[in-house]
Amino acid sequence: MNKPIDLYAMAYQDRSDRVRWLLEEMEVPYRNHFLDKKKGGMDSANYRLINPMGRVPTIVDGDLILHESAAICLYLADRYALGKLAPHYENIHLRAEYVKWMVWSTASLECVIARMFTHVNTPEETEVTHKFVKEQCEIMKTILLPVLSKQDYILSSGFSAADIMLAAVIPGAHDFLVKPNPEIARYMDRLMNRPGAIKAKVF
């Protein structure tokens, strides 16, 4: 039997959430390792060996060490749920669509949302940042809504790791994306109530 996967995080609700949720969905054994930032857990020489940036999440799966939450989820779904939570490589169009959502969720959507939580020190900066994020979310909405108005999950083939990535990121822009858009709110309800999400304590 394979050794459990080691998952390094700071808490349940950081970017390790999507990885833990995917592992729960796949019922792949794993161990949580929570690093204490205040006690230098992210900066320790041992941790820097597996993640030179001193960030989370990182996984160790046998002899593979991997960081970047989207890359981790792409790898895990391919390795442990290909054809179930990740489309087969032969299905080129669906696969391309899937990879797009996996990357978009962090590189485009999360990147914008994260602006609200970083380097905002004064009320003026907060206002400018919120305006920017709100405008950007209006654009993100035009990408999500046409899909979620016609189907329950982001891929026409059904629930996949791409839904996990999106649902882990979207709540960061709750007021701009979820609250004003019933289609996105229903999508979130559907996903938040999955036993895998509940076990992983994502929300």
Q: Which residues contact 114 (CB under 8 A, 6 or more apart)?
A: 172
Least separation in angstroms between CB 150 and ligand GSH: 29
DSSP string, 127-192: HHHHHHHHHHHHHHHHHHHHHHTT-SSSSTT---HHHHHHHHHGGGGIIIIITT-HHHHHHHHHHH
- The answer to whether 68 contacts ligand GSH (rule: CB under 6 A) is yes
Measured from the CB atom, the residue of 6 and 183 that comes closer to ligand GSH is: 6
Give the whole-angstrom CA distance, residue 200 versus residue 32: 11
Binding ligand GSH by CB under 6 A: which of 5, 7, 15, 202?
15
The residue written with tokens 């960081």 in the block is 67
For residue 12, state whether it binds ligand GSH (rule: CB under 6 A). Answer: no
Q: Could you tell me which residues come within 8 angstroms of residue 200 by beta carbon, excluding any fewer than 6 positions away?
A: 12, 17, 20, 21, 23, 24
Number of residue whose CB is nearest ligand GSH: 55
Tokens for 190, please give them: 């559907």
55 makes contact with ligand GSH (CB under 6 A): yes
Closer residue to ligand GSH (CB): 68 or 183: 68
> Which residue in the set 56, 164, 168, 197 belongs to the binding site for ligand GSH (CB under 6 A)?
56
* CA separation for the pair 119, 169 (Å, rounded): 19
Query: Taking CB under 6 A as the rule, does residue 106 contact ligand GSH?
Result: yes
User: Of 50-58, 74-82, 140-148, 153-161, which part binds ligand GSH (CB under 6 A)?
Assistant: 50-58
Q: Does 33 bind ligand GSH (CB under 6 A)?
A: no
**Minimum gap (Å) between residue 56 Cβ and ligand GSH:** 4
Q: What's the CA gap between 35 and 33, in Å, rounded?
A: 6
Q: Does 160 bind ligand GSH (CB under 6 A)?
A: no
Give me the residues that bind ligand GSH (CB under 6 A), please: 14-15, 37, 42, 55-57, 68-69, 106
